Structure 1
């Protein structure tokens, strides 16, 4: 992991962490003080710049968390607090089935190219998939589920407004050591293209920082 400044540690909060706060608190309904009902939550791409926040926030909400990642990041995701970790490249994990056999109440989908047909059999009766990378297929599924009054839902999350109240809460969690920003690498502004290429590659562990 790259060494970073205090300022860099807050760089992921306004977008990545706030996105996960919106998904888990506002949509999924978890309580960050752990007082809400215990949920079973799946986080795809759990080692990434967005997913690693989802694991931590879900655990603060007293959820049972399953995360997906590549083999090299399994221990990293476990260290974030995940109860179960799936190596997405294995045939068993491709089904997204929880090793404990539990159905997911919520899926925080931070990856790409996983069809609804893979999620649906793993959801509880009222389970929902919160899609942070929605494409045309996701939007069609969202509309169809609404029109058919399905209890299982796919919910695209597209625009995240910057809310001062939520940001202050996230900063407080960071200061208290309850939420950590993990970093894959840092790049000078002159190498911003390298950072962008690494981001597009989709295999970063934590956040990628461009220094200005």
Structure 2
């Protein structure tokens, strides 16, 4: 699938959009069904998908609570989040707040924890790695199984995201970018010759947002 590069973006910013941006759009719009005035919580708001999710939820008129680490608080606040929770200083699942949609991109909390901050008829959207509280070897699959267990007993919805890109998703992202509602955040760029360093930074130093590898055009 191909879509025109959004006007006003650099090639690096445009390259950062498709996978992370579509995943965020699927989680917020398609799975979460976010509407104006709803409360949305994004756990993992400073990551590649999270930075898009915060902005997309705001573009749809939601009140957004963003959860991230200490060093990323100002970055996430600059994306328009109404409330930023530093998970190193505060347990967001013990806040007593309730949200219409909880979009978890980390997998570091159990479904039971996440349901505590979810409205009685809210939606829990899971997308991401992690082994959660139990150290499960099956990772996200285990989270999904545990999230489904109470389903017959509660009104809360559960969706495990399976990101599939379509032309419509890319066109929607392009429109959001061209309107200024969404601005891709690029942490660092590396030339192709430094791809191993880029992967090392991404995996070992907890990169914020997106890391982009540039390929020089010949001649």
Deviation at 1:47, TM superposition (A): 1.2
Q: Does 1:110 align with 2:109?
A: no
Match of 1:170 in 2: 173
Normalised by the length of structure 2, the TM-score is: 0.82
Task: Give the CA deviation at 1:121.
Answer: 1.4
Q: How do residues 49-60 of structure 1 correspond to structure 2 at under 5 angstroms? A: 49-60=48-59
Moved over 4 A (4+): none
Q: Is the 8 A contact 2:126 2:144 kept in 1?
A: no
Q: Which residue of 2 aligns with 1:180?
A: 183
In structure 2, C-alpha distance between the alignment counterparts of 1:111 and 1:22, rounded to whole Å: 16
Post-superposition CA distance 1:88-143 (Å, at most 9, x none): 111xx224345xx5301111111132111221211110122211115132121243
Is 2:11 the counterpart of 1:14?
Answer: no
Tell me: CA distance 1:182–1:95, structure 2 relative to 1, closer, same or farther (3 Å).
Answer: closer
Residue segments in structure 1 that go unaligned for 5+ positions in a row? 31-35
Task: Determine the structure 1 residue equivalent to 2:88.
Answer: 89
Query: 3-state DSSP class of the match of 1:10?
Result: helix
Output the TM-score relative to the length of structure 1. Answer: 0.85
Residue ranges of structure 2 left out of the alignment (5+ in a row): 1-8, 130-139
Aligned residues: 197
Question: Is this contact kept in 1: 2:107–2:143, CA < 8 A?
Answer: no
Contact 2:13 2:184 in 1 (8 A): yes
